[in-house]
Amino acid sequence: MKQRAYGSTGKFVSEIGLGSWQLGNERDWGSMTEDEGIQIVHKAIDLGCNFFDTAPNYGFGKSEEILGKALKGKRDKVIISTKFGHHDNGEVDFDPTELERSVDQSLKRLQTDYLDSVLLHNPPFEYLNGDNQHFQILDKLKKQGKIGAYGASVDSSKEMFEIIEKTNSQVIEVMFNIFHQDPARAFKAAEENQVALIIKVPLDSGWLSGKYDAHSTFTDIRSRWSPEIIQRRTKMLEEVKSIVNPNQSLAKNALQYILAHPQVSTIIPGAKNISQLEENISASQGAMDSKVVEQLKATWETHLKDNNLPW
C-alpha cells in the first residue's frame, strides 16, 4: 500500500483508507455483526490500510465502538479521524459548547487518549469562516493534545475555499468522484496551504462499483434517489465504462481516477465485506493512464458540470 503525506501534520496515511459509516450501522447500510466489523478492520490493517474515518452518529456510536475494539493494541499503527455535529443520538447540533464533550465521548468509544483529526461534520456554511467558537475550541483541544489536527467535512469547492482561506484547518474531507468533480477546483489551494484531503463518497454510494443499473431499487439510504436520477446515473455509467480500462473492475478504475490527483491524501471507500475491501485496496496497485484521466474530466465538464447528480 502506498502512503501519502497527511497535510502538514507530519504523518503519512495509506492512500486507500476505510470509511466506517457502515460499521454497526443497520439504519443506513443493513446489518453487520460486531465481529464482522472487527474482521474487516483487522483485514484492512493486514492489507496496509492505516487510515480510519468515523463519526459519532455512524450506527449511533457503534462505528466508533467497533473501531475502538478492533484497534486496541494497534493505536500507534493507525490514523483515526472522527467528526462533530451529527451526534450518537441521531441529532444534528453544532452548538460549540458541545464540542469538547463530543470529543471526549469519541475518545471513550474509540478507547484512545487522542484523535489524529476531528472535523466539523457538514456544518452550515456560516460556520466555516473561522468567526465562531468552533475553531477556537478545536485549537484549544489541539494544544491540549486531545486532537492532532482539525478541519471540516464538506461537499463543494466553495466550502473548501472558505475553510482554506479563513481558518487554520489542516484537514478537509470532501466528496469527490467521477460524477462529482466540482471540489477539484480547490485542490491546488489545498496543496499550496498543505491541507490534507480526505475523499469521501468515492464510489458514488456504490454506483461506481458497477453493481447497479436502471432497474435497481434500494431500501437503504440510497432510496432517496428518484427513478429519473437512477436513469441519469445509468446513462453516465455507460459512458464511463466506454472510457476506462475494461480489464479491471469499475470500482478500481473509479478509485484510481481519484488517486490520479496528487493533492489527495487518502480515499475512504466503505466495505461491507472482505471482498469489497480487497477490491478497494487493490486500487493502490498501478495507476490510471493520463489520457483516460483527461477523458473523464471532459465527460464531467460536458454532462455534469452544470447539471450535477445529487449524491
Tens-level pLDDT at each residue, the chain (311 residues): 999 999 999 999 999 999 987 787 666 556 678 888 899 999 999 999 999 999 999 988 999 999 999 999 999 999 999 999 999 898 999 999 999 999 999 999 999 999 999 999 999 999 999 888 999 999 999 999 999 999 999 999 999 999 999 999 999 999 999 999 999 999 999 999 999 999 999 999 888 988 888 888 777 777 888 888 889 989 999 999 999 999 999 999 999 999 999 999 999 998 889 999 999 999 999 999 999 999 999 999 999 999 888 87
For residues 50 and 81, the answer to whether their CB atoms sit within 8 Å is: no
Half-sphere exposure of 58 (CA within 13 A, CB side): 27
Cα-Cα-Cα-Cα torsion 296, 272, 116, 112, nearest 10 degrees, comes to 180
- Look up the pTM and report it: 0.95
Domains assigned to the chain:
3-207+251-288 (3.20.20.100)
Host H or E run for residue 276: helix 274-281
Q: How far, CA to CA in Å, does 116 sit from each of 95, 163, 219, 261?
A: 22, 19, 34, 23
Nearest to 163 by CA among 145, 178, 150, 180: 150
d(CA 39, CA 32) in angstroms, rounded, equals: 11
Angle between helices 62-70 and 99-109 (to 10 degrees): 40
Exposure string over 165-195, b if 16+ CB within 10 A, otherwise e? eebebbbbbbbbbbbbbbbbebbebbeebeb
The residues, ordered by sequence, that sit 6+ positions from 299 with a Cβ below 8 Å of its Cβ are 178, 236, 239, 240, 243
d(CA 280, CA 291) in angstroms, rounded, equals: 22
d(CA 20, CA 241) in angstroms, rounded, equals: 28
